[in-house]
Amino acid sequence: MKKISSLKYLFVVAAMSGSAVFGQEQMVKPNILFIFSDDLSYRDLSSYGQEQFRTPNLDKLAMNGIRFTQAYSGSSECAPSRGSLMTGMHMGHCRIRANSSVRGQDHLLNEDITVAELLKGAGYTTGFIGKWGIGLPGTEGAPDKQGFDFSYGYYDQARAHGFFPHYLMRNGKPEPIPENYGFNMKRVSTYNGRPVDRLDDVKNVYDENGNLVPDGVPVAAAAKYSEDLFQNEALSFIKKNRDKPFFLYYATQLPHGPCITPDLGAYKDKPWDLKHKEWAAMLGHLDRGVGRMLDLMEQLEILDNTIIFFAGDNGYSQWGYFGRPRNEDDSLFKNKGPWPKGKFTSTHEGGVRVPFFVYWKDKIKAGENDHICALYDVLATLADLASITPPKTDGISFAPILLGKPDEQETHQYLYWENGTMSRHAQSIRLNQWWAYRDHPSKPIKLYDVTEDLACKNDLAKSNPELIDRIRQIYTEAHIDSEWYVNPGESKEQISAKRDKAISMKSMQRSTGANTAYRGRTELSPAGDVLKAAPKE
């Protein structure tokens, strides 16, 4: 049984006791499905302006739900965005502040309270499927140690950058997939960053019907695409828990690169290069999976008691998979959105502004809403919807908006971001109409009115000195120093001392063979044992 701190115990007990936030109509707890897409571009859905391909099932949810037009992820990159979502903390307080700390791929601690733990304490059956990224196998940050009754997928986020793994984790244990042994990941990783006009010697191979021929595996037709496995597990979880409240966190890999898909589908004969066909097909694969979940819940007659959330995890990243200059928009799909820059840039809205919508059949009035929110509001919101008491976080529940009670909606004083990596010391805030950032505590603060200047071209800092003073104060008050991540303004010597400390404490976080697997050599089990060696180069 998991040991929990006394403070955490009090929160869990409070959740179990419950508090009817919205009165008698909330006595029946709704099922909760949270779909978290990976590296989705802002206009990758046809409901968000994509004209080259369609996403009908996601469009149905978006157009019949509330679309938040000023929604932000917790971070501009994968792992901290997930840590923020799960714990309700912004980057000044979150345990996870970058993809890697000075000691490697870091993890949540036992004392961190997750959405899953909160809902589990209130009687929900909790499930995680997909990409975790905030706790390697065997650590206290693994999903099976953080409140999930069921967990299946990639605990190690670096391993999730492939689609034919040698194993996936099921409830804390590796489950081998021998059908994928020998998959040529080295070629795929080379393909990943190549420009679209230099693919001939490394490109994925598809047959005359548009079906993938995965090279290196024993039997090509038997190879297992991880997203197919995830979608099947999601259907199984929903079926098993149809008669009780459930929370399913479906953290899909799609459409994170490298570009590769089981079949090109409707895009096989498009006059596009291969990567564009694959990107559209990957979004189609995700959309069909969501459609299967909707159909199943309709059949089980539980859709009207299931609230569905959909969000992107960070800003635009497609340039990285298509071999283009950093943050350059795609000339065909034009999916970047109007925001400047993209993934890894918390200094700009393009790194953290994301598609976000919520659907609840016959209970949520469809339309757009300009409430300024962040995905670290989700924990407080789900607590409200489940009529339970959340711990104190950086989030504010937006349940009043969902339930048609906008007059009861609280607003944020500000939203805050930072990035705890070796080379980035940036801090950003959204404060009413203002977007402010500085690249380093030693650098000047830049200020933009994003309601008038979306591209952030007109710096208004000099004409607003009192506001700049307030922003400088926020940068201080919103940040608590992290033990293992880089704090804004830390010197190289301080960072090096942190790493030396981690080494001396033997607390370096070893990835589960992900980097070597990604280069196509050997994939290791969580214990470091070779599950299967890839063919020699």
CATH at residue 318: 3.40.720.10
Confidence (pLDDT) at 515: 36
Do 18 and 161 lie in a common domain? Answer: yes
Do 328 and 352 lie in a common domain? Answer: yes
Could you give the residue ranges of the DSSP H alpha helices within 272-418? 274-299, 319-322, 378-385, 399-402
Q: How many CA atoms lie within 13 A of 409 on its CB side?
A: 19
Do 156 and 224 lie in a common domain? Answer: yes
Examine residue 366 and state whether it is found in any structural domain, yes or no.
yes
Confidence (pLDDT) at 424: 79
Question: Where does 253-387 show beta strands of DSSP type E?
Answer: 306-312, 356-359, 367-369, 373-374
For 165-194, letters b (16+ CB in 10 Å) and e give bbbbbeeeebeebebbbbbbbbbbbbbbeb
Examine residue 517 and state whether it is found in any structural domain, yes or no.
no
Q: What 8-state DSSP symbol labels residue 319?
A: H
For residue 454, what are the CA distances in angstroms to 339, 374, 433, 444? Answer: 7, 18, 10, 20
Residues sharing a CB contact under 8 Å with residue 466, sequence separation 6 or more, in sequence order: none
Do 300 and 181 lie in a common domain? Answer: yes
Do 286 and 276 lie in a common domain? Answer: yes
The label of the residue with tokens 């990604």 reads 518
Do 399 and 424 lie in a common domain? Answer: no
Give the structural domain span for 361.
6-414
Reading the chain (537 residues) residue by residue, the pLDDT tens digits are 344 444 454 445 444 444 434 443 445 899 999 999 999 999 999 999 999 999 999 999 999 999 999 999 999 999 999 999 999 999 999 999 999 999 999 999 999 999 999 999 999 999 999 999 999 999 999 999 999 999 999 999 999 998 999 999 999 999 999 999 999 999 999 999 999 999 999 999 999 999 999 999 999 999 999 999 999 999 999 999 999 999 999 999 999 999 999 999 999 999 999 999 999 999 999 999 999 999 999 999 999 999 999 999 999 999 999 999 999 999 999 999 999 899 998 888 999 999 999 999 999 999 999 999 999 999 999 999 999 999 999 999 999 999 999 999 999 999 999 987 756 799 999 999 999 999 999 999 999 999 999 989 999 999 999 999 999 999 999 999 999 999 999 999 999 999 999 999 988 887 765 433 333 333 444 333 334 333 322
Examine residue 24 and state whether it is found in any structural domain, yes or no.
yes
Confidence (pLDDT) at 48: 97
Examine residue 428 and state whether it is found in any structural domain, yes or no.
yes
Confidence (pLDDT) at 498: 93
Q: Select from 414, 434, 458 the last residue of a domain.
A: 414
Q: Select from 414, 445, 461 the last residue of a domain.
A: 414
Residue 242: other Cβ atoms inside 10 A: 15
Examine residue 519 and state whether it is found in any structural domain, yes or no.
no
Do 333 and 442 lie in a common domain? Answer: no
Examine residue 520 and state whether it is found in any structural domain, yes or no.
no
Tokens of 270: 């498009």
Examine residue 515 and state whether it is found in any structural domain, yes or no.
no
Do 106 and 117 lie in a common domain? Answer: yes
Dist. CA 337–CA 321, nearest whole Å: 17
Do 48 and 80 lie in a common domain? Answer: yes
The label of the residue with tokens 């502040």 reads 97
Do 363 and 266 lie in a common domain? Answer: yes
CA angle 342, 343, 348 (to 5 degrees): 50
Do 351 and 467 lie in a common domain? Answer: no
Which residue type is seen at 252? T
User: How many domains would you assign to the chain?
Assistant: 2
Q: Select from 388, 414, 440 the last residue of a domain.
A: 414
> What angle do the packed helices 274-299 and 56-63 form, to 10 degrees?
60
Examine residue 526 and state whether it is found in any structural domain, yes or no.
no
Here the CATH number for the domain that contains residue 426 is: 3.30.1120
Which residues make beta-bridge pairs with 37? Answer: 312
The helix (run of H) or strand (run of E) holding residue 83 is helix 78-87
Do 460 and 409 lie in a common domain? Answer: no
Structural contact between residues 147 and 135, judged by C-beta atoms closer than 8 angstroms = no
